[in-house]
Structure 1
């Protein structure tokens, strides 16, 4: 039976061909000599290994045939219409890189020269095109539009490591010398993106992009797995090629098909399959790594942190199906997305629903907290005494949303007006009182409140404690606790009873967790090898306050790494989103300044800005824009899948306005709240709800002053609290903007948001 190896290539399978492609490859895997397959060489091809196969009358599969010792292997490059497939087959080559010994699929030079068609794995880009905001304006709002930032890719020069030359990049990394020379001559990042988009081998373009941001050559060698020797043996050239395809670094471009079931799953998944099959060598390193204690993986939106967490979960389960693994995150919606992703990755993984059972459990952190509290039962009283000071045994009821306001009114504290807000007391309680398990006024008066931003003398602390006592009294009277109290209680119960329900805990979006939730996760798993694996991006912190891991007993010093290559968003969209962040100072979960050096090898149109004079005008523009995305404008502009379009708004009230307004203008859209996003229509959701999702086209609607950022009067208790709230607003807009894979548009009416400045 022939072996099948899937090669990563963009747009390599027409969706209408899924069933026929599966039937063709299934037959090929059984017997490649079947006459109906028409496996034939191509005259004049640059690679004698290339073949085409008949999928149906109009479509052909492009493959490379490799002669193995016992059976042939076929590297499946893609399925295209007949003429296009033949053209591709004439120009592609599968070979061993002469410098690093890695297998590569490269496009022939004549097909990527200036003025010729782009290679199939490269997005369209014009290197000489200036980057400008594409703005539709009316005379009334034209003055609102500003020129693009001077640090856009169109004007910013690459920052190469010292003393690199085209020859040294070829000799040390195996990058094509001509490509390296062109890249080193590029005057701006925009010109460099044009060169990278036409790279004959994908990884070489990505490596050049990393080098162009100042990454040392040695670090790039390690990142791409080039330090590992490729042992290809001493067999025939084809046998050596097959051996190189087994190398771990080859997993970024090639995937060995195990059986027909996996083949069907891959084809059914369509273009979403890439994240399941092809990992960058650096991502693979964190999937496979074994760590002596907690490990922190940081990275910007779209850099693949979640992908690493999913693959690592599968790896831990595969190595020991009896182990107890928790994959968790801040919200239930994100946890549901993770569970679906894990199922897509491997249907054989046992998804556990009960504490202490073998297998992988995927839940939101508050769901796990509730499960622990239910397991604790009446014995939670001891933990309640240590956390709340009252020893109650009923803690699972939910405190009402107005409880802090009621406690403030009842206690009537002698405090400045800016301190008598629910926002101040919620933060003080979550960041100081609960994680330190303060139960008395004396303890609160003595506690250090580092990082809270507002100083409280003894008299003020006594007044603050009066409100906290009243809040706890309201909870006792109603047998309720809030989410943060529940996490603190569950953490204390686990510690008091030395209970560890999991062998491995993996956390996604950890920057949004509060101290009590992190204390809870630390208590869920015993300290030891591969105990905690924490993924975070402090630029995406849209809930809660800043937290430092060491302050909650999680020590990651020396066990932290960062991903920098964005796989989702185009360079133009990423640059726009990063400028939103540039107005704030961000720190990571180790308390260090967060870097902003993320980059993307994908290129596309610059973000569109759409000012409007009124809400009605903004809705008119949104309807026109969505219609243009939904309907093809000639052969060169394909229609967008409806569920690939998202309109993101600040809150649920604006969401309903947009849904109704677009319906009145002949555009049917689907409102998404807590439920899963369903296909078939463009989607309208809040920016918070969109976290963790991605779309081909995104419109950020209503980005005007007073909406983004929202009114922050409740955070005026101190300059630091207000500044931190503003960071969350910047992060929210950054999160929303980076949901766009290809096309990003931004609209507002009236005064545009100050964050856009």
Structure 2
């Protein structure tokens, strides 16, 4: 033990003396200047001192110290070791704290980037960890470019943060320096994007606080909680066209390249893989069922996570606990936010909004005629408009057409909102107007006189039809007029044999051979009267235009888009098909048989149009809130319908619902005066009390006379109103008033339907069962179209107690309250 103690004392003494040796490179000395002997002076001094130390150690080693002295020496050594341990402990603690801070910041940036990458399907692009323009090593956390503009994002994972008196505080420290840095970054990005023609107002500095909610505006900087990031970006609306977004991205890629040495926050291993779900694999509840209640959690289930802190200074979640962002930022939630943001705009902007899920349909290539079909509110018309824009942008001559004359100006105005630079390459007109012009341009003289042709029919009815079996079967003469126009001339039939064997798609009242013979005789007499007067009816014009178009296919248009195709006649579609033939991307037909509001019908096979392998069914309703859609579906739930190439589809169709909620107000009144008063008061309350624009509301009724009457009543009450006959698709501050037919293809935030339980009209005394059944089905479809024009809320007037009058619901039931 003595030897061991002596050795320990020798080592301690040597160590103590070594700290006093100058120039010893082993202990941090740096005096290496040479001495006189050529040996460095520090080395000579070291040798001399070392010899002295060793001599002193030998002397001390021979002297046995007292116990007290030994204790003092050991105590001194312990104190020295403890000081070194404390120093290293403090250093280790600081390094760990610094590492946690950087890791937390990295997690925050990664989580924010994950949220932003999830918006890719909505047209947003994320550029993480980019070089600050004008610097060599400084970086910008994230750049975000999308329809809402350009965002310079700085991500902060701060535990204590608040906004107070217009300033940002991190704990007790003023964080103005962080805001100033972000503003400087934004100014640098603005300068870069000036070359791309982007105004500075479209570049937004955005400070994102991880794991928090809330939004504050501090001068120019927007401070946003991570959990509200998606909503805040979406609420910027649609400010940049896709072409501008691509130009900005190219400019930023060049001026703000990725940081070469930085760890990529959004590496493929960090970000969740986005798998696009197949529609075929979804299993939502049937439309008729109420939404299922959430299942009760098992007793052992963990409680829900606490609400995220706001920007008011509430402490953040404990360190090391990542915020639960994946569930909060699902694709469905993002898309709902996109829909709601579009719904806050005027109704005309809403009618141009394309859901991201449908964007792929716009630029899909088609080897021949194609079709898009789906229930009301599934976005068929807006897909057609964006398709027209896409085709025009690539240089095609495009026609957008439908039967309704007033839809042309509306669609033109809507497309001018989306792409003013391309609107002149697209023609918007009705099928009838196009057919007349087509004949005139090719030197075919036309005498289209609808009024004279109408008189010819009534003369033929009086001379031939009234005394025939047709006058005794309990059907109004107008039914036979439509039979001639849509079934016979609408198909271009030339002989009775064709008509005798025809299936008469769209006409459910059965006809015996004697009835068909009488109809054909009525048709022939009508034709003799018309020809004698030298006039053409609508069917003649379409037939002539079709035959001329077949001789000159492709001369006028490269692509034809037909909206509401179910309302055309077979010859009308043949005419449009002949304009482009079966060329690639030539013909696109859009429609829904359940929304057919005119008598008649046909199949695509009859028209000679094949869409096999090129037909798309839209199954998700993006327009109507759930309560409105359920209410409207009940009207036609029991009525099957023909859909051009699918016979006998069920009235209650499976439709996915994108927008829950909604409001349906059924107001029972005892007379017309009470109904007028209630409707007028609600219009004013919706505008003044609930913030619904007059221009986003519509009053729809079944006849033109009722339209004129309601328009006068609203005007006298000081409520601005405009007829749908005069509406051209521009934003105005007037309630739209029109018929169910005229509302086809349009959307409104709130719709008013007076006398809703008086349509379909009651059965007439002389009307047969078959005739009433066919008419009631058609009128229920017309009412269904009117009801589904409502996006958010619906007001329906019941001029007598429900159940006391004729029911409008299929199968004898009225829609749910």
CA contact (8 A) 1:542 1:729 kept: yes
Q: SS at the partner of 2:386?
A: helix
Which residue number in structure 2 is paired with residue 5 of structure 1?
146
Q: Could you tell me which of 739, 743, 750 is aligned with 1:686? A: 739
Alignment of 1:6-405 (within 5 A): 6-7=147-148, 29-30=190-191, 42=207, 44-46=209-211, 54=219, 69-71=253-255, 98-101=271-274, 155-157=290-292, 200-201=328-329, 203-205=331-333, 273=349, 276=352, 279-281=355-357, 283-319=358-394, 321=395, 323-349=396-422, 351=424, 359-378=425-444, 394-400=446-452, 401-405=454-458
**Shift in CA distance, 340/498, structure 1 to aligned 2, threshold 3 Å:** closer
Deviations 1:319-367 (A, max 9, x none): 2x1x33211111121121111122112111152xxxxxxx322211111
Q: What pairs with 1:451-470 in structure 2 (closer than 5 Å)?
A: 452-453=507-508, 460-470=515-525
Q: Is 1:745 matched up with 2:788?
A: no
Contact 2:447 2:534 in 1 (8 A): yes
Q: Residue 295 and residue 450 in structure 1: after superposition, are their counterparts in 2 closer, same or farther (change >3 A)?
A: closer
Secondary structure of the structure 2 residue equivalent to 1:377: coil
Q: Deviations over 1:714-757 (max 9, x none)?
A: 995772x5444323212221211122121111112125551141
CA distance in 2, matches of 1:57, 1:447: 68
Note the alpha carbon deviations across 1:659-718, whole angstroms, 9 max, x for none.
344456x3424140411166223332222222222222211111133xx11356599577
Q: TM-score, normalised by structure 2?
A: 0.59
Secondary structure of 1:744's aligned partner: strand
Paired position in structure 2 for 1:415: 469
Residue 733 (structure 1) aligns with: 783
Give 1:505 deviation, angstroms: 1.1
**What RMSD, in angstroms, separates the aligned Cα atoms of the two structures?**
4.7
Query: For 2:255 and 2:765, how far apart are their aligned partners in 1?
Result: 70
Q: Kindly state the Cα deviation for residue 576 of structure 1 after the two structures are TM-superposed.
A: 0.9
Q: How far apart, in 2, do the equivalents of 1:489 and 1:714 lie?
A: 41
Q: CA–CA distance in 2 between the matches of 1:681 and 1:454?
A: 42
> How far, CA to CA, are the matches of 1:520 and 1:347 in structure 2?
29
**Would the aligned equivalents of 2:354 and 2:382 in 1 still touch at CA under 8 Å?**
no
Cα distance 1:740–1:409, how it changes in 2: closer, same or farther (>3 A)?
same
Instruction: State how far apart, in whole Å, the 1-side matches of 2:502 and 2:386 are.
Output: 42
1:535 paired with 2:582, answer no
2:160 match: none
Taking the aligned partners of 1:295 and 1:68, their CA distance within structure 2 comes to 39
Q: Are residue 670 (structure 1) and residue 798 (structure 2) matched?
A: no
- Range with greater deviation from structure 2 (445-454 or 543-552): 445-454
Cα 1:8–1:42 shift into 2, 3 Å: closer
Q: Judging changes above 3 Å, is the alpha-carbon distance between structure 1 residues 348 and 467 closer, same or farther for their aligned structure 2 residues?
A: same
Higher relative contact order (CA 8 A, sep 6+): 1
Distance 1:37 1:411 in 2: 72
Describe the shift of the 1:406–1:206 C-alpha distance in structure 2 as closer, same or farther (beyond 3 A). farther
TM-score normalized with structure 1 length: 0.63
Distance 1:443 1:497, change over 3 A: farther
Point out where structure 1 has 5 or more consecutive residues left out of the alignment.
10-24, 74-92, 104-149, 161-176, 179-197, 210-250, 256-265, 352-358, 379-392, 633-637
Cα deviations by residue, 1:302-329 (Å, 9 ceiling, x for unpaired): 211111111111222222x1x3321111
Count of aligned positions: 556
Residues 299 and 403 of structure 1: is their aligned pair in 2 closer, same or farther, counting only changes over 3 Å? same
Please say if residues 604 and 743 of structure 1, whose CA atoms lie closer than 8 Å, have aligned partners that are also in contact.
no
Deviates more, 1:334-343 or 1:596-605: 596-605
Q: What is the 5 A alignment of 1:701-716?
A: 701-705=754-758, 708-710=759-761
In structure 2, C-alpha distance between the alignment counterparts of 1:429 and 1:406, rounded to whole Å: 14
SS state at 2:808 partner: helix
> CA 1:669 to 1:587, structure 2 compared with 1: closer, same or farther past 3 Å?
same
Contact 2:403 2:431 in 1 (8 A): yes
Change (3 A) 1:603 1:454: closer
Structure 2: distance between partners of 1:410 and 1:643: 50
Task: Give the Å deviation of 1:8.
Answer: 10
The answer as to whether partners of 2:448 and 2:538 remain within 8 angstroms in 1 is no
- CA distance in structure 2 between the aligned counterparts of 1:517 and 1:471, rounded to whole angstroms: 21
| Structure 1: distance between partners of 2:419 and 2:615 | 27
| Deviation at residue 452 of structure 1 after TM alignment | 4.7
Task: Decide which moves more: 620-629 or 61-70.
Answer: 61-70
